Amino acid sequence: MILTVTPNPSLDRTYEVPALDRGEVLRATAERMDPGGKGVNVSRALAAAGRRTVAVLPLGGAPGALVAELLAGQGIEVAPVPVAGATRSNIALAEPDGTLTKINAPGPELTAAESESLLSTVRTQIHAQVHAQVHTQVRTQVRTHADSVAWIACCGSLPRGLAPEWYAELVARAHHAGARIALDTSGPSLLAALRERPDVVKPNAEELARAVGRPLVTVGDAVKAAEELRTYGAGSVLASLGADGQLLVSDAGTYFGFAAVAAVRSNVGAGDASLAGFLAAGGEGPDALASAVAHGAAAVQLPGSVMPSPADLDPSAVTVTADIPLDRPLTEPAS
């Protein structure tokens, strides 16, 4: 079972439009409404693959109730943390050429009590899954059997009211309970969490450049930056390089994965689908990287933030190699 934590979830509305003309009345050709947030998307991708997942997230107001309803409809167990503020609503405008314009609301400001409740709910979920497996409250058995929660995926930006060190606290508590952590965040919250040694971090090229404080122009630059994050405390680094593929840098070696995509329809949630594929395949090694690339490639060919099902995947299109093209320029250099 994979637990996901999304501190700042959303209700996402996606509209497909022929063109984005400022000041004009736009007629959408299609629309979708999905539960959103990076950890939520990871849970959605796991559920689409038939994997059991529990989503921990703060929910408030009518949008929060709708997010919970939509998740339940997709077969996802929800561990809600009630908050006073309303869950944010986001809007995305998708054009035929793949250009995506997003308007993300800030979301509610969490109180100190709500922040602690979110942390406590994660701990409760870990222990609940362990106790369901071993039928005992004995501490030593809890630690021995904590692999009943295979991974905890902590994903997304932090809402107002949560300090950058919040993820670091979550990683520390989860490790104390014996769980493995995959962290997908950026900026100060990523750097603060590295001191607690998350098992996997998943930056994109821009986030990776920001973390090391220098631009990335080639695949080799990205490899060096990922290696630097490991010296800061990351166990493994799964780096998304957009159209150029993905990197995995770990104790087991460095691997590069790529899959050709005929047409990009929407890249919303593609990185989250990649992380879901990586964790579902065990969360380590080239096979897990191949799964991540296949999930990401499938996601960008689907509308809005639709997560791929096994029928959408094309593993034969994926190439994973230890022969890293270090000198290959990035299609979109990260500054």
Give whole-number Cα distances, 105 to 41, 86, 89, 179, 195, in Å: 17, 11, 6, 32, 30
**Full-model pTM:** 0.90
* Diameter of the chain measured on Cα atoms: 64
The string of pLDDT tens digits covering residues 177-231 is 999 999 999 999 999 999 999 999 999 999 999 999 999 999 999 999 999 999 9
CA distance 264 to 259: 12
CB atoms within 10 A of CB 262: 7
Print burial letters for 307-330: b (CB count within 10 Å at least 16), e (below 16).
bbeeebbeeeebebeeebeeeeeb
Within 8 A by CB and 6+ apart from 320, the residues are 255, 256, 257, 286, 289, 290, 293
Nearest C-alpha neighbor of 273 from the set 231, 233, 312, 220: 312
Amino acid 130: pLDDT:
56
10-16 and 88-94: which strand pairing? parallel
* Under 8 Å between Cβ of 49 and 274: no
Domain segments of the chain: what residues? 1-5+39-84+106-198, 203-335
Q: How confident is the model at residue 303 (pLDDT cuts 50, 70, 90)?
A: confident
Residue 291 vs residues 48, 245, 310: alpha-carbon distances, Å: 14, 12, 11
- The mean predicted confidence, pLDDT, of the chain is 92
Region 305-329 average pLDDT: 94
| 203-335 shares the fold of 1-5+39-84+106-198 | yes
Closest C-alpha among 204, 116, 112 to residue 155: 204
- pLDDT tens digits, one per residue of 228-253: 999 999 999 999 999 999 999 999 99
CATH number of 1-5+39-84+106-198: 3.40.1190.20
The span from the CA of 268 to the CA of 14, in Å, is 10
Active-site residue list: 272
What tokens does 38 get? 């990076």
Q: Which CATH architecture does the domain made up of 203-335 adopt?
A: 3-Layer(aba) Sandwich (3.40)
Per-residue pLDDT, 145? 41
280-297 confidence digits (pLDDT tens): 999 999 999 999 999 999
For the segment 35-57, the average pLDDT, to the nearest whole number, is: 95
pLDDT of residue 132: 55
